[in-house]
Structure 1
Amino acid sequence: MKILLVAIIFLSSISFCHSQKEQDSIPNKTNPIIYSELYFGLAGGKGIGLVVGGELNYQNKNDLFTVRYGYQTFATFGGTSLGFIGIPSIETTLNNHEIGLLYGQRYVKDGHSFSFSGGISTNYSIGEQRNNEELLKQSQQYLGFPFEINIKWFKKAKKRFRAYYGLIPIGKPTSFGRSFGFKLYGNISKYSYAGIGINYGFGWHKKYE
Protein backbone atom coordinates (compact mmCIF):
# COMPACT_ATOMS: atom_id res chain seq x y z
CA MET A 1 0.00 0.00 0.00
CA LYS A 2 2.84 2.39 0.83
CA ILE A 3 4.40 1.58 -2.56
CA LEU A 4 1.07 2.47 -4.21
CA LEU A 5 1.04 5.85 -2.44
CA VAL A 6 4.58 6.62 -3.60
CA ALA A 7 3.70 5.54 -7.14
CA ILE A 8 0.62 7.82 -7.26
CA ILE A 9 2.65 10.81 -6.08
CA PHE A 10 5.54 10.04 -8.45
CA LEU A 11 3.34 9.56 -11.53
CA SER A 12 1.26 12.63 -10.78
CA SER A 13 4.45 14.70 -10.39
CA ILE A 14 5.72 13.54 -13.78
CA SER A 15 2.34 14.31 -15.35
CA PHE A 16 2.30 17.77 -13.79
CA CYS A 17 5.80 18.64 -15.02
CA HIS A 18 5.08 17.37 -18.55
CA SER A 19 1.77 19.21 -18.79
CA GLN A 20 3.35 22.39 -17.45
CA LYS A 21 5.89 22.41 -20.28
CA GLU A 22 3.13 21.91 -22.87
CA GLN A 23 1.04 24.72 -21.40
CA ASP A 24 3.96 27.16 -21.30
CA SER A 25 4.48 26.58 -25.05
CA ILE A 26 0.80 27.18 -25.94
CA PRO A 27 -0.34 30.78 -25.31
CA ASN A 28 -3.85 31.75 -24.15
CA LYS A 29 -4.86 28.21 -23.28
CA THR A 30 -6.83 27.63 -20.08
CA ASN A 31 -5.36 25.01 -17.81
CA PRO A 32 -7.27 22.00 -16.41
CA ILE A 33 -7.91 21.79 -12.66
CA ILE A 34 -5.84 18.85 -11.44
CA TYR A 35 -3.73 18.62 -8.32
CA SER A 36 -2.20 16.18 -5.87
CA GLU A 37 -1.87 16.59 -2.13
CA LEU A 38 -0.49 15.01 1.01
CA TYR A 39 -2.30 15.24 4.33
CA PHE A 40 -1.74 14.22 7.93
CA GLY A 41 -3.47 14.72 11.25
CA LEU A 42 -5.28 13.15 14.20
CA ALA A 43 -8.39 10.98 14.37
CA GLY A 44 -10.64 9.18 16.77
CA GLY A 45 -12.16 5.77 16.16
CA LYS A 46 -10.80 2.47 17.40
CA GLY A 47 -8.89 4.46 19.98
CA ILE A 48 -6.81 7.56 19.36
CA GLY A 49 -4.85 7.62 16.14
CA LEU A 50 -2.65 9.27 13.55
CA VAL A 51 -3.57 9.58 9.86
CA VAL A 52 -1.41 10.19 6.80
CA GLY A 53 -2.40 9.96 3.17
CA GLY A 54 -2.23 11.21 -0.39
CA GLU A 55 -4.71 12.18 -3.10
CA LEU A 56 -5.02 12.89 -6.79
CA ASN A 57 -7.88 15.27 -7.68
CA TYR A 58 -9.54 16.32 -10.94
CA GLN A 59 -12.26 18.97 -11.25
CA ASN A 60 -14.70 19.49 -14.14
CA LYS A 61 -16.94 22.54 -13.61
CA ASN A 62 -17.93 22.08 -9.94
CA ASP A 63 -17.63 18.28 -10.01
CA LEU A 64 -14.63 16.94 -8.07
CA PHE A 65 -13.23 13.41 -8.58
CA THR A 66 -10.69 12.04 -6.10
CA VAL A 67 -8.49 8.99 -5.69
CA ARG A 68 -7.44 8.73 -2.04
CA TYR A 69 -4.97 6.54 -0.17
CA GLY A 70 -4.88 6.77 3.62
CA TYR A 71 -3.02 5.01 6.40
CA GLN A 72 -4.42 5.12 9.93
CA THR A 73 -2.97 3.74 13.13
CA PHE A 74 -5.03 3.65 16.34
CA ALA A 75 -4.28 2.60 19.90
CA THR A 76 -6.32 2.05 23.05
CA PHE A 77 -4.67 2.39 26.42
CA GLY A 78 -5.03 0.55 29.69
CA GLY A 79 -2.90 0.31 32.76
CA THR A 80 -1.42 -1.90 35.42
CA SER A 81 -0.63 -1.06 38.99
CA LEU A 82 2.63 -1.55 40.81
CA GLY A 83 1.78 -0.89 44.40
CA PHE A 84 0.39 2.64 44.49
CA ILE A 85 1.87 3.51 41.08
CA GLY A 86 -0.18 3.20 37.89
CA ILE A 87 1.69 2.22 34.73
CA PRO A 88 -0.04 2.99 31.39
CA SER A 89 0.13 0.41 28.63
CA ILE A 90 -1.18 -0.10 25.09
CA GLU A 91 -3.90 -2.76 25.07
CA THR A 92 -4.91 -2.87 21.39
CA THR A 93 -3.71 -1.35 18.13
CA LEU A 94 -5.30 -1.16 14.70
CA ASN A 95 -3.39 -0.32 11.51
CA ASN A 96 -5.55 0.30 8.46
CA HIS A 97 -4.81 0.88 4.77
CA GLU A 98 -7.57 2.60 2.82
CA ILE A 99 -7.96 3.12 -0.95
CA GLY A 100 -11.00 5.15 -1.95
CA LEU A 101 -12.78 6.76 -4.89
CA LEU A 102 -14.71 9.92 -4.01
CA TYR A 103 -17.03 12.32 -5.79
CA GLY A 104 -18.05 15.76 -4.59
CA GLN A 105 -18.46 19.46 -5.25
CA ARG A 106 -15.73 22.11 -5.18
CA TYR A 107 -16.18 25.88 -5.29
CA VAL A 108 -13.35 28.28 -6.09
CA LYS A 109 -13.18 32.00 -5.36
CA ASP A 110 -10.03 34.04 -5.99
CA GLY A 111 -7.25 32.30 -4.07
CA HIS A 112 -9.17 29.80 -1.97
CA SER A 113 -11.60 26.90 -2.38
CA PHE A 114 -14.13 24.84 -0.44
CA SER A 115 -15.06 21.24 -1.24
CA PHE A 116 -16.90 18.25 0.18
CA SER A 117 -16.80 14.65 -1.08
CA GLY A 118 -17.93 11.11 -0.32
CA GLY A 119 -17.44 7.73 -1.91
CA ILE A 120 -16.47 4.11 -1.45
CA SER A 121 -13.25 2.47 -0.29
CA THR A 122 -11.60 -0.86 0.28
CA ASN A 123 -9.88 -1.23 3.65
CA TYR A 124 -7.27 -3.67 4.88
CA SER A 125 -6.62 -3.62 8.62
CA ILE A 126 -4.30 -5.48 10.96
CA GLY A 127 -5.30 -5.52 14.62
CA GLU A 128 -3.09 -6.44 17.56
CA GLN A 129 -4.35 -7.24 21.06
CA ARG A 130 -2.40 -8.19 24.16
CA ASN A 131 -3.80 -11.04 26.20
CA ASN A 132 -1.60 -11.16 29.29
CA GLU A 133 1.83 -11.79 27.77
CA GLU A 134 0.48 -13.08 24.44
CA LEU A 135 0.14 -10.82 21.39
CA LEU A 136 -2.79 -11.74 19.15
CA LYS A 137 -2.95 -10.50 15.53
CA GLN A 138 -5.92 -10.47 13.16
CA SER A 139 -6.22 -9.10 9.60
CA GLN A 140 -9.49 -8.12 7.89
CA GLN A 141 -10.62 -6.64 4.58
CA TYR A 142 -13.89 -4.71 4.28
CA LEU A 143 -15.67 -1.89 2.43
CA GLY A 144 -16.14 1.62 3.75
CA PHE A 145 -17.60 4.99 2.88
CA PRO A 146 -14.91 7.69 3.03
CA PHE A 147 -15.77 11.38 3.27
CA GLU A 148 -13.90 14.67 3.53
CA ILE A 149 -14.35 18.43 3.67
CA ASN A 150 -11.54 20.73 2.51
CA ILE A 151 -10.66 24.38 2.63
CA LYS A 152 -7.43 25.49 0.98
CA TRP A 153 -5.52 28.53 -0.17
CA PHE A 154 -3.40 29.04 -3.30
CA LYS A 155 -2.20 31.85 -5.56
CA LYS A 156 -4.82 34.10 -7.18
CA ALA A 157 -2.98 34.67 -10.46
CA LYS A 158 -0.15 33.18 -12.48
CA LYS A 159 3.26 33.63 -10.88
CA ARG A 160 6.73 32.22 -11.32
CA PHE A 161 7.12 28.88 -9.55
CA ARG A 162 9.46 29.09 -6.55
CA ALA A 163 11.70 26.17 -5.60
CA TYR A 164 13.68 25.50 -2.43
CA TYR A 165 10.91 26.37 0.03
CA GLY A 166 9.64 29.25 -2.10
CA LEU A 167 12.95 31.14 -2.16
CA ILE A 168 14.12 30.81 -5.78
CA PRO A 169 11.78 31.81 -8.69
CA ILE A 170 12.02 29.58 -11.77
CA GLY A 171 10.88 30.17 -15.36
CA LYS A 172 7.95 32.26 -16.58
CA PRO A 173 4.68 32.96 -14.72
CA THR A 174 2.75 29.71 -14.59
CA SER A 175 -0.58 28.37 -13.36
CA PHE A 176 1.18 25.49 -11.60
CA GLY A 177 1.60 26.12 -7.88
CA ARG A 178 1.32 25.04 -4.27
CA SER A 179 -1.61 24.97 -1.88
CA PHE A 180 -2.12 24.72 1.85
CA GLY A 181 -5.28 23.98 3.78
CA PHE A 182 -7.25 22.03 6.34
CA LYS A 183 -9.08 18.74 5.92
CA LEU A 184 -11.89 17.10 7.89
CA TYR A 185 -11.85 13.41 6.96
CA GLY A 186 -13.22 10.06 7.98
CA ASN A 187 -14.62 6.71 6.96
CA ILE A 188 -17.89 4.99 7.89
CA SER A 189 -17.09 1.28 8.05
CA LYS A 190 -16.56 -1.63 10.41
CA TYR A 191 -13.94 0.51 12.15
CA SER A 192 -15.28 4.01 11.61
CA TYR A 193 -13.14 7.05 12.35
CA ALA A 194 -13.13 10.82 11.90
CA GLY A 195 -10.43 13.43 12.31
CA ILE A 196 -8.90 16.69 11.20
CA GLY A 197 -5.55 17.55 9.69
CA ILE A 198 -3.64 19.76 7.30
CA ASN A 199 -2.89 19.22 3.62
CA TYR A 200 -0.19 20.43 1.27
CA GLY A 201 -0.60 20.21 -2.50
CA PHE A 202 0.89 20.82 -5.95
CA GLY A 203 -0.90 21.38 -9.24
CA TRP A 204 -3.47 23.60 -10.93
CA HIS A 205 -5.98 24.64 -8.29
CA LYS A 206 -8.20 26.92 -10.46
CA LYS A 207 -8.65 28.15 -14.03
CA TYR A 208 -5.99 30.73 -14.82
CA GLU A 209 -6.18 33.05 -17.82
Structure 2
Amino acid sequence: MSFEGYFLLDLIEKAMKKYYYVILVFFFTCNSFAQKEKDSTEVKSNPIVYVDFLVGASNSGNEVNGLTFGFSANYQINKDLFTFRSTYVAETNPDAGLASVLIVPLFIGGDSLNEFALLYGKRFIFNGSALSISAGVSSNLLRYSRTVDGEKFRYNESYIAVPFELNFNFFKAKKKRFRVLYGIIPVGQPTAFGRSFGVKIFGSLGEFNYFGVGLNLGLGWHKKY
Protein backbone atom coordinates (compact mmCIF):
# COMPACT_ATOMS: atom_id res chain seq x y z
CA MET A 1 0.00 0.00 0.00
CA SER A 2 1.31 3.45 -0.85
CA PHE A 3 2.24 6.09 1.69
CA GLU A 4 -0.85 8.07 0.78
CA GLY A 5 -3.05 5.02 1.56
CA TYR A 6 -1.48 4.52 5.01
CA PHE A 7 -1.89 8.20 5.73
CA LEU A 8 -5.59 8.09 4.73
CA LEU A 9 -6.26 5.02 6.92
CA ASP A 10 -4.57 6.73 9.85
CA LEU A 11 -6.81 9.77 9.45
CA ILE A 12 -9.94 7.59 9.26
CA GLU A 13 -8.92 5.66 12.40
CA LYS A 14 -8.30 8.90 14.35
CA ALA A 15 -11.66 10.31 13.23
CA MET A 16 -13.48 7.13 14.30
CA LYS A 17 -11.82 7.27 17.73
CA LYS A 18 -12.79 10.92 18.08
CA TYR A 19 -16.44 10.26 17.22
CA TYR A 20 -16.45 7.20 19.49
CA TYR A 21 -15.44 9.35 22.48
CA VAL A 22 -18.02 11.99 21.51
CA ILE A 23 -20.78 9.34 21.36
CA LEU A 24 -19.63 7.85 24.68
CA VAL A 25 -19.70 11.25 26.42
CA PHE A 26 -23.13 12.01 24.90
CA PHE A 27 -24.51 8.68 26.17
CA PHE A 28 -23.34 9.22 29.77
CA THR A 29 -24.58 12.83 29.72
CA CYS A 30 -28.06 11.76 28.58
CA ASN A 31 -28.13 8.98 31.17
CA SER A 32 -27.16 11.44 33.92
CA PHE A 33 -29.90 13.89 32.94
CA ALA A 34 -32.46 11.07 32.77
CA GLN A 35 -31.50 9.94 36.27
CA LYS A 36 -31.77 13.51 37.59
CA GLU A 37 -35.18 13.88 35.96
CA LYS A 38 -36.33 10.61 37.53
CA ASP A 39 -35.04 11.68 40.96
CA SER A 40 -36.75 15.06 40.55
CA THR A 41 -40.02 13.32 39.71
CA GLU A 42 -39.75 11.14 42.80
CA VAL A 43 -39.05 14.14 45.03
CA LYS A 44 -42.07 15.98 43.66
CA SER A 45 -44.42 13.05 44.32
CA ASN A 46 -47.38 14.02 46.51
CA PRO A 47 -47.40 13.25 50.26
CA ILE A 48 -50.00 10.89 51.72
CA VAL A 49 -52.20 13.19 53.81
CA TYR A 50 -55.97 12.87 54.20
CA VAL A 51 -58.88 13.48 56.57
CA ASP A 52 -61.78 11.17 57.41
CA PHE A 53 -65.32 11.83 58.61
CA LEU A 54 -67.13 9.03 60.45
CA VAL A 55 -70.81 8.26 61.01
CA GLY A 56 -71.63 5.09 62.90
CA ALA A 57 -72.84 3.47 66.09
CA SER A 58 -71.06 2.56 69.34
CA ASN A 59 -71.73 0.45 72.43
CA SER A 60 -70.07 0.70 75.84
CA GLY A 61 -72.31 -1.60 77.83
CA ASN A 62 -74.34 0.19 80.51
CA GLU A 63 -72.67 3.61 80.16
CA VAL A 64 -73.40 5.05 76.71
CA ASN A 65 -74.67 3.56 73.45
CA GLY A 66 -75.71 5.46 70.38
CA LEU A 67 -74.96 7.49 67.31
CA THR A 68 -71.26 8.20 66.73
CA PHE A 69 -69.56 11.04 64.86
CA GLY A 70 -65.84 11.20 64.26
CA PHE A 71 -63.05 13.12 62.57
CA SER A 72 -59.46 12.08 61.94
CA ALA A 73 -56.38 13.62 60.31
CA ASN A 74 -53.86 11.15 58.89
CA TYR A 75 -50.28 11.29 57.64
CA GLN A 76 -48.42 8.32 56.17
CA ILE A 77 -44.70 7.90 55.54
CA ASN A 78 -43.62 4.60 54.01
CA LYS A 79 -46.06 2.17 55.69
CA ASP A 80 -46.16 4.10 58.99
CA LEU A 81 -49.47 5.87 59.70
CA PHE A 82 -49.90 8.71 62.23
CA THR A 83 -53.46 9.73 63.19
CA PHE A 84 -55.23 12.31 65.30
CA ARG A 85 -58.80 11.22 66.07
CA SER A 86 -61.78 12.92 67.70
CA THR A 87 -64.89 10.86 68.44
CA TYR A 88 -68.25 11.74 69.96
CA VAL A 89 -70.80 9.13 71.04
CA ALA A 90 -74.32 10.42 71.76
CA GLU A 91 -77.05 8.37 73.40
CA THR A 92 -80.71 9.27 72.96
CA ASN A 93 -82.08 11.58 75.64
CA PRO A 94 -85.07 9.88 77.32
CA ASP A 95 -86.29 13.30 78.52
CA ALA A 96 -86.08 15.09 75.15
CA GLY A 97 -89.83 15.71 75.09
CA LEU A 98 -91.27 17.24 71.91
CA ALA A 99 -87.72 17.84 70.59
CA SER A 100 -87.40 14.12 69.95
CA VAL A 101 -89.52 14.41 66.79
CA LEU A 102 -86.72 16.49 65.20
CA ILE A 103 -84.27 13.55 65.53
CA VAL A 104 -81.07 15.61 66.09
CA PRO A 105 -82.19 17.16 69.44
CA LEU A 106 -83.03 13.63 70.51
CA PHE A 107 -79.27 13.06 70.96
CA ILE A 108 -78.64 16.28 72.92
CA GLY A 109 -78.61 16.15 76.71
CA GLY A 110 -78.36 12.38 76.98
CA ASP A 111 -75.34 10.28 77.96
CA SER A 112 -72.24 10.96 75.87
CA LEU A 113 -68.58 10.13 75.36
CA ASN A 114 -65.92 12.54 74.06
CA GLU A 115 -62.57 11.18 72.93
CA PHE A 116 -59.36 12.80 71.66
CA ALA A 117 -56.71 10.34 70.56
CA LEU A 118 -53.26 10.00 68.99
CA LEU A 119 -52.63 6.74 67.15
CA TYR A 120 -49.79 5.02 65.32
CA GLY A 121 -50.15 2.08 62.98
CA LYS A 122 -49.46 0.49 59.63
CA ARG A 123 -51.24 1.16 56.33
CA PHE A 124 -51.02 -1.09 53.28
CA ILE A 125 -51.98 0.25 49.84
CA PHE A 126 -53.39 -1.95 47.07
CA ASN A 127 -53.65 0.31 43.98
CA GLY A 128 -57.15 1.78 44.58
CA SER A 129 -57.73 0.60 48.16
CA ALA A 130 -55.95 0.48 51.51
CA LEU A 131 -56.08 -1.40 54.82
CA SER A 132 -54.78 0.11 58.07
CA ILE A 133 -54.63 -0.87 61.72
CA SER A 134 -53.67 1.53 64.52
CA ALA A 135 -53.58 1.95 68.31
CA GLY A 136 -52.45 4.69 70.68
CA VAL A 137 -53.46 6.78 73.68
CA SER A 138 -56.57 8.90 74.27
CA SER A 139 -58.18 11.29 76.74
CA ASN A 140 -61.84 10.41 77.29
CA LEU A 141 -64.72 12.18 79.03
CA LEU A 142 -67.80 10.10 79.80
CA ARG A 143 -71.07 11.69 80.91
CA TYR A 144 -73.75 9.27 82.08
CA SER A 145 -76.73 9.07 84.41
CA ARG A 146 -77.98 6.62 87.02
CA THR A 147 -81.36 6.41 88.76
CA VAL A 148 -81.19 5.55 92.46
CA ASP A 149 -84.41 5.21 94.47
CA GLY A 150 -86.32 7.08 91.80
CA GLU A 151 -83.85 9.96 91.72
CA LYS A 152 -81.62 10.59 88.70
CA PHE A 153 -77.91 11.38 89.19
CA ARG A 154 -75.45 12.64 86.57
CA TYR A 155 -71.78 11.60 86.54
CA ASN A 156 -68.67 12.84 84.69
CA GLU A 157 -65.69 10.50 84.36
CA SER A 158 -62.35 11.53 82.83
CA TYR A 159 -59.83 8.80 82.10
CA ILE A 160 -56.94 7.72 79.86
CA ALA A 161 -57.57 4.84 77.46
CA VAL A 162 -56.01 2.85 74.62
CA PRO A 163 -57.87 3.64 71.37
CA PHE A 164 -57.73 1.36 68.33
CA GLU A 165 -59.15 1.25 64.82
CA LEU A 166 -59.21 -0.89 61.69
CA ASN A 167 -59.91 0.84 58.36
CA PHE A 168 -60.59 -0.38 54.85
CA ASN A 169 -61.05 2.34 52.23
CA PHE A 170 -61.47 2.73 48.48
CA PHE A 171 -60.12 5.71 46.47
CA LYS A 172 -59.21 6.49 42.86
CA ALA A 173 -56.42 4.31 41.48
CA LYS A 174 -54.88 7.00 39.23
CA LYS A 175 -54.91 10.76 38.80
CA LYS A 176 -58.23 12.09 37.56
CA ARG A 177 -59.99 15.42 37.40
CA PHE A 178 -61.78 16.31 40.64
CA ARG A 179 -65.57 16.18 40.35
CA VAL A 180 -68.10 18.46 42.05
CA LEU A 181 -71.90 18.32 42.43
CA TYR A 182 -71.91 14.72 43.69
CA GLY A 183 -69.19 13.67 41.27
CA ILE A 184 -71.05 14.78 38.14
CA ILE A 185 -68.99 17.73 36.84
CA PRO A 186 -65.19 17.37 36.38
CA VAL A 187 -63.08 20.47 37.05
CA GLY A 188 -59.41 21.38 36.60
CA GLN A 189 -56.56 19.13 35.57
CA PRO A 190 -55.98 15.50 36.64
CA THR A 191 -54.97 15.55 40.29
CA ALA A 192 -53.90 13.22 43.09
CA PHE A 193 -56.39 14.91 45.44
CA GLY A 194 -59.62 12.96 45.76
CA ARG A 195 -62.32 11.30 47.83
CA SER A 196 -62.41 7.98 49.64
CA PHE A 197 -65.05 5.84 51.30
CA GLY A 198 -64.95 2.72 53.41
CA VAL A 199 -65.60 1.06 56.74
CA LYS A 200 -64.05 1.70 60.17
CA ILE A 201 -64.08 -0.59 63.21
CA PHE A 202 -63.00 1.40 66.27
CA GLY A 203 -63.13 1.77 70.04
CA SER A 204 -60.99 2.14 73.14
CA LEU A 205 -59.96 0.08 76.16
CA GLY A 206 -59.82 1.77 79.56
CA GLU A 207 -61.86 2.33 82.70
CA PHE A 208 -64.90 2.30 80.39
CA ASN A 209 -64.59 0.35 77.15
CA TYR A 210 -66.50 1.03 73.98
CA PHE A 211 -66.66 -0.51 70.51
CA GLY A 212 -68.16 0.80 67.28
CA VAL A 213 -68.49 0.44 63.54
CA GLY A 214 -69.26 3.07 60.92
CA LEU A 215 -68.91 4.46 57.42
CA ASN A 216 -65.82 6.53 56.66
CA LEU A 217 -65.74 9.35 54.07
CA GLY A 218 -62.44 11.03 53.28
CA LEU A 219 -60.65 13.77 51.32
CA GLY A 220 -56.98 14.13 50.51
CA TRP A 221 -54.00 12.39 48.94
CA HIS A 222 -54.46 8.69 49.65
CA LYS A 223 -51.36 7.28 47.92
CA LYS A 224 -48.35 8.38 45.87
CA TYR A 225 -49.46 8.89 42.26
What is the TM-score when the length of structure 1 is the normalising length?
0.75
SS at match of 1:41: strand
2:116 matched to 1:116? no
Kindly indicate which of the two structures has a greater share of residues assigned to helix. 2
2:46 matched to 1:31? yes
Moved more, 30-39 or 48-57: 48-57
SS at match of 1:31: coil
- Tell me the distance in 2 between the aligned counterparts of 1:96 and 1:152: 26
Q: Give the match for residue 43 of structure 1.
A: 58
1:147 to 164, 169, 172: 164
- Tell me the distance in 2 between the aligned counterparts of 1:59 and 1:28: 16
2:174 matched to 1:157? yes
1:177 to 162, 180, 194: 194
- Tell me the distance in 2 between the aligned counterparts of 1:130 and 1:105: 44
Query: What percent identity do the matched residue pairs reach?
Result: 41
2:110 matched to 1:96? no
Q: Give the match for residue 32 of structure 2.
A: none
Which sections of structure 2, spanning at least 5 residues, go unmatched?
1-40, 95-109
Which sections of structure 1, spanning at least 5 residues, go unmatched?
1-25, 78-92
Superposition pairs of residues 49-68 of structure 1, within 5 angstroms: 49-68=66-85
2:132 matched to 1:125? no
SS at match of 1:105: strand
Structure 1 ranges of 4+ moved more than 6 A: none
Structure 1 residues 140, 28: closer, same or farther in 2, change over 3 A? closer
- Tell me the distance in 2 between the aligned counterparts of 1:142 and 1:32: 34
SS at match of 2:182: coil
- Tell me the distance in 1 between the aligned counterparts of 2:116 and 2:156: 16
Letter of the structure 2 residue corresponding to residue 193 of structure 1: Y
- Tell me the distance in 1 between the aligned counterparts of 2:191 and 2:42: 11
Larger radius of gyration: 2
Question: How many residue pairs are counted as aligned between the two chains?
Answer: 168
Whether the 8 Å CA contact 1:181–1:200 is kept in 2: the answer is: yes
The CA deviation at 1:32 is: 0.1
1:201 to 218, 221, 225: 218
Kindly indicate which of the two structures has a greater share of residues assigned to strand. 1
- Tell me the distance in 2 between the aligned counterparts of 1:187 and 1:49: 15
Structure 1 residues 165, 28: closer, same or farther in 2, change over 3 A? farther
Whether the 8 Å CA contact 1:149–1:183 is kept in 2: the answer is: yes
- Tell me the distance in 2 between the aligned counterparts of 1:61 and 1:104: 11
- Note the alpha carbon deviations across 1:149-202, whole angstroms, 9 max, x for none: 000000000000001111111100000000000001010011101121110000
- Tell me the distance in 1 between the aligned counterparts of 2:207 and 2:158: 10
What is the TM-score when the length of structure 2 is the normalising length?
0.70
Letter of the structure 1 residue corresponding to residue 134 of structure 2: S
